[in-house]
Amino acid sequence: MAAPNGIWVFIEQTDGKIADVSLELTGKARELADRLGQEVVGLVFGHGVEALADQVIKHGADRVLLADHPELAEYRTLPYARVAIAEARARLPEIFLIGGTPNGRDLAPRIASALRCGLTADCTDLQIGDYTIRKENKTYANLLYQIRPAFGGNLIATIVNPRTRPQMATVREGVMRMPAARPGREGTIEKVVPEFEPGDFALEVLSRQVRHSTVQLKDAPVVVSGGAGIGSAEDFALLRDLANLLGGEVGASRAAVDAGLIGREHQVGQTGTTVRPRLYIAAGISGAIQHRAGMDQSSKIIAINTDASAPIFQIAHYRIVGDVAEVLPIIVKTLRERSMDQREHE
């Protein structure tokens, strides 16, 4: 039987490849575990995935619970939840972290609901600290501070689960540092035998289409993003022109994606891609924190918005109060003329 408690990390894998966020979380769990004197436990589910256990250990886990079973070959909510719930009930982890991917956010609430424990969604930071309930004159030491934007991103909430275990959180991709693998690291691999029930197979996946994105937002030197202030998909063409001129990529706010103006793979922000370009142009984006969180590290930010009080202006280096449909063509024209001038000088 494993040592009780521990800091658990669900290791998400697709076709034998571990999601980056799972290793990022393994690194963060290592840090928290050293502070708390706990062990880090990685949960590796899949079929023919034994080799992944070692990779998880090299990235910081002390122990891997390996559930290798044909029914776990691809992610499905119920079989995965079944195994995770059974193991958590038997072993009572202290903390349970899951990557805030679509699958992670599908799985985590299912587990938390069954275990009747607290769950915080899409955290952007995790810390350890104390929590006092004044009414009870009681202090809970060394809780997991689960830190996340809330209320449309206009405030940052620190959430704790003083009484229930595990303390569960999903964590946004890309916010924790990826730990380096340590070749010599050793750990224990424990095999887990799933016990399914017939109802676990109520859902079958008929087909999967992986969208190999041609959008290279993450490393683009320039990102030209549009928001709800862009009237139509046609107006996004203006952004594309500008991005092409600048050798950049087209981004978007969630509002623009939700409105169907542009594909989801262009989304910058908390639920999209985090970017750190040399230049970020925010056109018709009001600047909710979920969006700002994905772009506020950009070297230079130009914001264009008709609303002079839009939050985006407060982090912008260049504020242009005006209509995107009028301003963008001026920028495009200016850049075109400049490059023509250059050619004449050459």
Partner 1 sequence: MRSSRPGMTGRLPEKRMTDQRPIHSVVLVKQVPDTHNITGDVMTKDGTMNRNALPAIFNPEDLNALEMALQVRERLGGTVTVITMGPPKAANVLREALFHGADRVILLTDRKFAGADTLATSYVLQRAVQKAGSFDLVFCGRQAIDGDTAQVGPQLAEKLGIPQITYAETIVDLSGDQIVAERVLDSGSEIVRCKLPVLLTVVGSANTPRPASVRRRIERKLAAAPGEYAAIRARWPEFESDEQLEAYLTTHGLKIEVWTAADIGAAEEQIGLAGSPTQVHRINFVVLESTESKTIPPTPEGIAAMVQELVHEYIVG
Find the binding residues for partner 1 in span 175-204 (CB under 8 A): 199, 202-204
Q: Does residue 231 touch partner 1 according to CB under 8 A?
A: no
Q: CB of 86 within 8 A of CB of 67?
A: no
Nearer to partner 1, 19 or 56 (CB): 19
Q: Does residue 159 touch partner 1 according to CB under 8 A?
A: yes
Distance CA 186, CA 11 (A): 18
Subset of 40-69 contacting partner 1 (CB under 8 A): none
CB of 190 to partner 1, least distance (A): 26
Compute, in degrees rounded to 10, the torsion defined by CA atoms 303, 305, 308, 310. -80
Which tokens go with 156?
């940052």
Nearer to partner 1, 187 or 277 (CB): 277
CB of 253 to partner 1, least distance (A): 10
Nearer to partner 1, 189 or 196 (CB): 196
- Binding flags for partner 1, 6-45, as an x/- string (CB under 8 A): ----------------------------------------
Q: Which long-range contacts (C-beta less than 8 Å, at least 24 apart) are formed by 83-90?
A: 83/45, 83/192, 83/194, 84/10, 84/43, 84/45, 84/111, 85/110, 85/111, 85/114, 85/115, 86/194, 86/195, 87/43, 87/192, 88/8, 88/115, 88/166, 89/115
Subset of 96-155 contacting partner 1 (CB under 8 A): 101-102, 105-110, 112-114, 116-122, 129, 131, 133, 145-146, 149-155
Q: Does residue 318 touch partner 1 according to CB under 8 A?
A: yes
Distance CA 99, CA 176 (A): 11
State the residue for tokens 């969630």. 254
Q: Which of these, 103, 119, 122, 101, lies nearest to 111 by C-alpha position?
A: 119
CB of 286 to partner 1, least distance (A): 7
Q: Which of these, 128, 112, 102, lies nearest to 14 by C-alpha position?
A: 102
- Binding flags for partner 1, 240-279, as an x/- string (CB under 8 A): ------xx-------x-xx-x--xxx-----xx-----xx
Q: Does residue 325 touch partner 1 according to CB under 8 A?
A: no
Q: Does residue 78 touch partner 1 according to CB under 8 A?
A: yes
